[in-house]
Amino acid sequence: MAKKLKGIAAAPGVAIAPVVHFHTTLDHIPTYKVGPGSVAAEKQRLSQAVAEVAAGLLALQKELTDQIARHDVRIYDAQLAILHDPTFRRDVENEIGAQGVNLEVALQRVIARYESVFAAMESTAMRERAADVRDVGRQLVGALLAKARTKYIANGQDYLFAADEFLPSDAGLLDRKHIRGIVTAHGGKYSHGAILARSMGIPAVVGIEDVMLESTTGTTAILDGDAGVVILEPTWEDLNHYDRLLRERRGLESRLAELRLQPPVTTDGTQVSLQANVEGVQDLQALDMASIAGIGLFRTEFAFMERRQFPTEDEQVAMYRRAIDSAQGKVVTFRTLDVGGDKPLGYFSMPEERNPVLGWRGIRLCLDWPDILYTQMRAMLRAAAGGRARIMLPMITSRSEVVRCREVLQQLVDDLAAAGVPYDPKIGLGVMVEVPVVVAVLDDILPIVDFVSVGTNDLVQYLLAVDRDNQRVAKMYDPFHPGVLRVLQQIAGAAAAAGRSASICGEIAGDHWFTPLLVGLGFRELSMAPVFLPRVKLMLRSFSVDECRDLAARAVAMQSAAAVRRLVQEKIRVRWDRFVGGSHEEARP
C-alpha cells in the first residue's frame, strides 16, 4: 500500500528509484582515560586527523569545482575554517587535558557544545550551520578510527539517498551518475546539504522524521522535490503520473529556456501578471526577478518562527527593506503575521485548541494583540519608503475587521508624518479571500481595500469541509469541483465590478492545468512558488482569452469534478502535449 510522507521541499525535481539507506553516524566510539603523560600523544593524533580530513575536503572541493556553482563550492571553506580554527583546537586539547579523556570523546563533547551555540541563534541559516560542525566532528572521528566511509557503488542502478541528514562531506560518497534524489529525516531548506543538492541538480526532500523507519533499502519510492513529498511503494497510478511528469520535464527543458524573458501573454496578447510566493529574503535573493512581475505573497510569519522572541520594529524594517531592495523596483506584497493553526510561535503562549485551523490565528490573533499588528504595519510603512509594497491581511471574515485595520494604518501614517519619519503614504492594503463567508460580503469589503488575493489552499478546504492532510478524506480535496470554480468566478467578477485587482496566491495558481480556467474565470494575476512559473507561462502562451473563457464557462456548468477533469484532459492537456511534443496517453491532470 502506498504511503505518502510530507517533508520540506529542499531541491526541485522529481525522481523514481529504489531507496538506499545510508548511516551517517559511527557505531562505536572508544572511551578511555588519558593520563598526563599521554596528552601530547592525543594532541599529535588530533594534528594527524585534521591534516587527513582537510586533504579529503580539498580533494572533494576540487572534484566538484566543474560540477556545481563556484559560490557553492565555497561551502567546504566553512568546514576547512573550523578544522583550522585555533579556538576549536584549543578547546579540544583543553578537554583532553582537563578531563583526562581520549581524543574521540573530547571531540564529541566540544562538537556538542558548538552545536548548542548554533542551535540558540535566531537566524535559521545560522542554526543550520550546526550541521557543518557536526560533519567536521564525524569526519575527524572517522579518520581517528580509520573508518572513513567508502564511496557508494550503485552498480549501474539508479537510487534515492536516504539518511538522517545529508551533510556536505556526503557528496564525496555518492555515485553521482546514478543518484536520482535525496530524502532525509532532518535538515532544512537552507542547510549546506540542501544548497549542494540544488547546485548538483538533485531533487531533495528533507525533514521527514520517519523516513528511515517507514522504508528499507530497496523500497521503490517517488520523490517530489517540488511539493516536498515522498511516496513509498507507489501505486501504478502514482508511477504512471510521475513517469509522465519526468518525460514531460525532459521535453520542456528547451522550451522553458526559450521562454525565460518572453512576456506572460495569451496568444491574442492579453497580459497576465505572474508573481512569486516566497517565505523569506533568502528565497527572494535566489529569484530571477527579470522574469516575474513581483512578489505576490511574502509570508512574514516565517521570519517570526525562526526567532526565539518577537523581532523589534527596527529588525522588521531591515528585513522588509532587504526584500523590497531585492525586488528591484517590483511590488512586494507582505502578508501580515499569520500564525496559529499549523504555524505556532514557540515563544508566544497560545491556547490548546480542538481545531486550531478554525481557531485563534491570522488577523484574529493580531487584532486581539494589537501591539503585534501596530509594530508590523509601522515597520512595513517605513521599509516601503522609496520602494513598492502592499500589505495583505489574512483570515478576514468581515468588513469590520478591515475597518479596524484601516484605522490602525491611518493612525500609524499620522504618527510617522508628525514625527518626520519617512514612509510610503500610498502603500496598498488588501485582504486574502480564504474564509468562505467573505465571498458573501465581498461587495461590502471591496470599496475599502485596494486589492484582493484568493488563498485557495484554505478556501477549498473550508468550502469542501475536507482536511487535505487527513489521509482518510484527502482524496475529496479537489479544486476542480464545480462549486469551487463558481466561487472563484464570483470573486473575480465582484472585484472587476468594483475596479479592484484580484489575484490567486494559493497552490492552484502554480498548477498549469488550472491556468486556462483561471484566466477564463477572470483572474489576471497569479502568484506561485517560483518553480512553477515557467510551466504556467508556457500554458498561458498556448491559449487565447476567448478559448480560456469558453473552457471556464463549460467547467462551471458541469456537475462533478470528474467531468471538469475530463474537460482538462480532452482540451487542455492535448494542447499542452502538442506544445511540448509529448503524448497524451496515460494522462492525469
Catalytic residue among 366, 405, 505, 548: 505
Task: Give yes or no: 584 in active site.
Answer: no
Q: Do 122 and 170 fall within a single domain?
A: no
With a pLDDT cut of 90, the percent of the chain lying above it is 56
Catalytic residue among 192, 241, 481, 512: 192
Selection from 99, 71, 68, 103 nearest residue 89 by Cα: 103
Which helix (H) or strand (E) is 451 found in, with range?
strand 451-454
Kindly give the pairing relationship between strand 331-335 and strand 294-299.
Answer: parallel
Q: Do 140 and 158 fall within a single domain?
A: no
Q: Do 392 and 528 fall within a single domain?
A: yes
Look at residue 271 in the predicted model and tell me its pLDDT: 96
Look at residue 401 in the predicted model and tell me its pLDDT: 96
Residue 186 has pLDDT above 90, yes or no: no
Q: Do 11 and 92 fall within a single domain?
A: no
Do residues 476 and 466 touch, judged by C-beta distance below 8 A?
A: yes
Query: Cα separation of 564 and 517, whole Å?
Result: 10
Domain boundary residue, one of 144, 160, 180: 144
Residue 191 has pLDDT above 90, yes or no: no
CATH number of the domain at 278, please. 3.20.20.60
Q: Do 436 and 463 fall within a single domain?
A: yes
Please count the other Cβ atoms lying within 10 Å of the Cβ belonging to residue 571: 17
For the chain, give the number of residues.
589
| Lowest mean pLDDT across 86-95, 351-360, 482-491 | 351-360
User: Which residues are within 8 A (CB) of 3 and not within 5 positions of it... i.e. 6 or more apart?
Assistant: 214, 231, 232, 233
Task: Return mean pLDDT, the chain.
Answer: 88
Which grid cell sits at 435? 474564509
Look at residue 588 in the predicted model and tell me its pLDDT: 44
Q: Do 378 and 522 fall within a single domain?
A: yes
Residue 69 has pLDDT above 70, yes or no: no
Residue 588 belongs to a domain: no
Q: Do 74 and 157 fall within a single domain?
A: no
Q: Which domain holds residue 106?
A: 36-144
Helix (H, G, I), strand (E, B) or coil at 348: coil
Residue 220 belongs to a domain: yes
Task: Give yes or no: 178 in active site.
Answer: no
Could you tell me the pLDDT band of residue 345, with boundaries at 50, 70 and 90?
low
Domain boundary residue, one of 144, 166, 196: 144
Which grid cell sits at 551? 473552457
Residue 585 has pLDDT above 80, yes or no: no
Q: Do 332 and 418 fall within a single domain?
A: yes
Do residues 459 and 509 touch, judged by C-beta distance below 8 A?
A: no
Residue 387 belongs to a domain: yes
pLDDT digits (tens, 9 = 90+) for 228-238: 999 999 999 99
Residue 260 belongs to a domain: no
Number of domains composing the chain: 3
Residue 28 belongs to a domain: no
Domain boundary residue, one of 144, 171, 196: 144
User: Could you tell me which residue, 368 or 339, shows the higher pLDDT?
Assistant: 368
Residues 353-373 have a mean pLDDT of 80
Query: Cα separation of 338 and 367, whole Å?
Result: 12
Residue 507 has pLDDT above 90, yes or no: no
Backbone phi, psi, residue 562, to 5°: -60, -40
Kindly give the pairing relationship between strand 14-21 and strand 220-224.
Answer: antiparallel
CATH number of the domain at 41, please. 1.10.274.10
pLDDT digits (tens, 9 = 90+) for 529-571: 888 898 899 999 999 999 999 999 999 999 999 999 999 989 9
C-alpha distances (whole Å) from 411 to each of 145, 376, 377, 404, 407 are 66, 13, 11, 11, 6
Q: Do 140 and 187 fall within a single domain?
A: no
pLDDT digits (tens, 9 = 90+) for 377-423: 999 999 999 899 999 999 999 999 999 999 999 999 999 999 999 99
Which grid cell sits at 554? 463549460
Query: Cα separation of 389 and 397, whole Å?
Result: 23
Residue 343 belongs to a domain: yes
Residue written as cell 515557467? 534
Q: Do 422 and 571 fall within a single domain?
A: yes
Query: Cα separation of 429 and 410, whole Å?
Result: 11
CATH number of the domain at 197, please. 3.50.30.10
Look at residue 75 in the predicted model and tell me its pLDDT: 82
Residue 366 belongs to a domain: yes
Q: Do 91 and 213 fall within a single domain?
A: no
Which helix (H) or strand (E) is 230 found in, with range?
strand 229-232
Q: Do 393 and 535 fall within a single domain?
A: yes
Residues 352-364 have a mean pLDDT of 73
Q: Which amino acid is at 225?
A: G
User: Which residues are within 8 A (CB) of 273 and not within 5 positions of it... i.e. 6 or more apart?
Assistant: 264, 293, 294, 503, 524, 525, 526
Could you tell me the pLDDT band of residue 132, with boundaries at 50, 70 and 90?
confident
Do residues 405 and 363 touch, judged by C-beta distance below 8 A?
A: yes
Residue 249 belongs to a domain: no
Selection from 268, 154, 142 nearest residue 218 by Cα: 154
